[in-house]
Amino acid sequence: MEEEIRPLPKFDYFSPHSLHDLSTLLKQLKGGISFLAGGTDLLVNMKKRITIPKVIIDINRIQELSFIEKRSNNIHVGSVTRLNNLIESSIVQENVPLLTEAIRFLASHPIRNRATIGGNLCTASPAADAAPPLLALNASVKLKSPDDEKIVPLSEFFVGPRQTVRKHNEILTEIIIPCEKGSNAFMKLGRRRGFTLSVVSVAAFGIIKGDKFEDIRIALGGVAPTPIRAYKIEEMLKGVEVSDRSIEKAAEIAKSISKPSKRAKRASVEYREAMARVLTKRVLMKIAFEERG
Ligand SMILES: Cc1cc2nc3c(=O)[nH]c(=O)nc-3n(C[C@H](O)[C@H](O)[C@H](O)COP(=O)(O)OP(=O)(O)OC[C@H]3O[C@@H](n4cnc5c(N)ncnc54)[C@H](O)[C@@H]3O)c2cc1C
């Protein structure tokens, strides 16, 4: 049966050219605002009537939101940076390769030409592919309202499916990622090999000294109402010998902390829990192999 084509609900449209103009505009508006970045989530949600904004603020003309810079030991990425620009960036490849690895598998080339890193985080999908690597890298986000600016650790940003701590008059302006030397692993499982949303994804950053895990940070997508950091695994592995036994134990914890929604599409609760275990084992084995050779 052919899908009925309905016009989008009416909305007011603004397209400020600077953060200063955006602040002036936000002071005048009351609510019902959606920011338009790449539009690859927003327009789909508007067509499905999941989101019905009264006002759309197009942030694509704000040049101050598109940049990738290394400042002291952090990478700063403007929220409207396109995913393909991030993949191509030598600054990102050299300093935070885990992010490159994760977004290389996100959607398709045409989508990544439009889609932005800020949009991927603000959409707050439990399966957003940029979230697990950025959680494992201890990233933070900068939120700006007309009167205030604050930095929030990404681990405190997501509060539920499609919900974040961001207020209606706050814009995510940049993502701040600390640079650290270590090994990285990202694995994503979708319903097919490519061009698809994750059913489960796992990202890990790790350092091994001698035969022991010195530092491991691990985050999972698609297994809970929000992307999650697996602190229980991290605590269990710290200072522990790298072995099949410790990795197997960590994988079991990944399964036990997974609480996927029964209503989530694309895979059952049981499958997601089982795959959280499998992917966690594989990322830890990859890190162990890379660090020890
Ligand atoms: C065919 C297809 C395949 C896809 N595959 C994947 C995939 O494999 N993995 C994946 O993770 N995603 C996937 N997506 C989802 C989507 O492409 C990404 O989430 C993308 O990064 C969203 O970015 P955007 O710039 O298009 O966001 P938009 O659609 O512009 O915005 C998304 C939401 O975030 C808000 N927002 C955007 N920027 C800001 C900001 N700076 N401050 C405050 N709020 C903001 C918007 O108001 C909106 O609510 C897919 C989408 C499509 C259509």
**205 and 246: one domain?**
yes
Task: Please name which of 226, 227, 63, 252 lies closest in space to residue 160, comparing C-alpha atoms.
Answer: 226
Q: Is 131 in the pocket of ligand 1 (CB under 6 A)?
A: no
Chain segment 104-124, per-residue pLDDT in tens: 989 899 999 999 999 999 999
Ligand 1 atom nearest 122 alpha carbon: 34
What's the mean per-residue pLDDT of the chain?
Answer: 93
Q: Is 36 in the pocket of ligand 1 (CB under 6 A)?
A: yes
The better pLDDT of the pair 30, 264 is held by 30
Q: What does the alpha-carbon distance between residue 47 and residue 87 come to, in Å, rounded to a whole number?
A: 29
Last residue of a domain, one of 178, 200, 222: 178
Q: Could you tell me the CATH number of the domain that includes residue 34?
A: 3.30.43.10
Q: Does pLDDT of 8 surpass 90?
A: no
The better pLDDT of the pair 268, 55 is held by 55
Last residue of a domain, one of 58, 73, 96: 58
Last residue of a domain, one of 123, 150, 178: 178
Domain count, the chain: 3
Beta strand 171-178 pairing with 163-164? unpaired
Tokens 């986000």 correspond to: 141
Q: Does pLDDT of 65 surpass 80?
A: yes
Residue 186 in tokens: 């990202």
Q: Is 52 in the pocket of ligand 1 (CB under 6 A)?
A: no
Query: What type of residue is 77?
Result: V
**88 and 103: one domain?**
yes
Binning pLDDT at 50, 70 and 90, where does residue 1 land? Answer: low
Q: Is 41 in the pocket of ligand 1 (CB under 6 A)?
A: yes
Q: How far is the CA of 181 from the centre of ligand 1 (A)?
A: 29
Q: Which residues are 186's β-sheet partners?
A: 203
Ligand 1 atom nearest 116 alpha carbon: 25
Give the H or E element holding residue 257: helix 244-257
Nearest CA to ligand 1 atom 40: 172
For residue 116, the enclosing domain spans 63-178
Q: For residues 160 and 65, is the Cβ–Cβ distance under 8 A?
A: no
Q: How far is the CA of 20 from the centre of ligand 1 (A)?
A: 24
Q: Could you tell me the CATH number of the domain that includes residue 263?
A: 3.30.390.50
Ligand 1 atom nearest 40 alpha carbon: 26
Q: Is 201 in the pocket of ligand 1 (CB under 6 A)?
A: no
